[in-house]
Amino acid sequence: MILSDFAKALAQLPDPRFRSVLWRGIGLTIALLVGVYAALLWLIDWLTADQISLPGVGEVTWIGDLLSWGSLGLMILLSVFLMIPVASAITSLFLDEVADAVEDKHYPALPPVPSTSFADGFRDTVNFLGVLMGANIAALILYLIFPFAAPFIFYGLNGYLLGREYFQLAASRREGRAGARARWKQHKGTVWAAGCLMALPLSFPLLNLFIPILGAATFTHLYHRLSARG
């Protein structure tokens, strides 16, 4: 049944509202990563503004260049691991539009829901971004300690986080925050399994950028299917 929810979401991918959310999410993600790198370069330039002198060597002028090139390598490495969490969190700011598109097409008899205010959406996005980035940075340590288990840690962790976030997003539209949390606790095993399905494409470049949208659509279908069961 989870696969059928995903198939419905995939079939609706050409929807103009889906594409609009996709491009806004990617654009803001790239802008954020560029901004972080620019801030890091500014910090390095500020720290190395004064020439460093070493006994017997004299002034050392290459440390700033070394740190700048090293920071580029660090950002490239981190972007591999953080691009998707960041894109997922930023795109979540617009995922109400995806859920609206799904419900308009597949559940037209449902009454409309009030739109989420920008302040509430921004707060939720910042919280989700912090959790995703913190968890994935912490997971880097586990990848080094348990390299044989790295794929299981990656998919299990991101499956749990994506599943919980997207399911509660869909449920809170109809049941409020408290109702959404209660509904998630009731079905958290199923939600985690669906989240792991969403996490699988994270390993594939470009394809992984569609996961926030497909996740929101899939979990909207999942929520309505589970809520119909009681």
| pLDDT tens digits for range 80-95 | 556 656 666 666 677 7
Question: What pLDDT shows up at residue 57?
Answer: 47
State percent of the chain over pLDDT 70: 70
Residue 142 CA to residue 162 CA, distance in Å, equals 19
- What DSSP character marks residue 48? T
pLDDT bracket for residue 62 (50, 70, 90): very low
Lowest mean pLDDT among 70-79, 151-160, 217-226: 70-79
- What DSSP character marks residue 59? E
Residue 195 CA to residue 207 CA, distance in Å, equals 16
**How buried is residue 225: exposed, middle or buried, by Cβ count under 10 Å (0-12/13-18/19+)?**
middle
What mean pLDDT is reported for the chain?
77
Question: What pLDDT shows up at residue 224?
Answer: 92
pLDDT at 227 over 80: yes
Q: How many residues does the chain have?
A: 230
Question: What pLDDT shows up at residue 35?
Answer: 74
Mean pLDDT along residues 76-83? 58
pLDDT at 221 over 80: yes
Question: What pLDDT shows up at residue 83?
Answer: 60
Domain borders along the chain are 2-229
Residue 186 CA to residue 220 CA, distance in Å, equals 16
Residue 185, amino acid: K
Mean pLDDT along residues 153-171? 87
pLDDT at 22 over 70: yes
pLDDT at 1 over 70: yes
Mean pLDDT along residues 104-122? 78
Lowest mean pLDDT among 38-52, 89-103, 120-134: 38-52
CB 132 within 8 A of CB 195: no
Lowest mean pLDDT among 70-84, 125-139, 144-158, 166-180: 70-84
Question: What pLDDT shows up at residue 116?
Answer: 65
pLDDT at 58 over 50: no
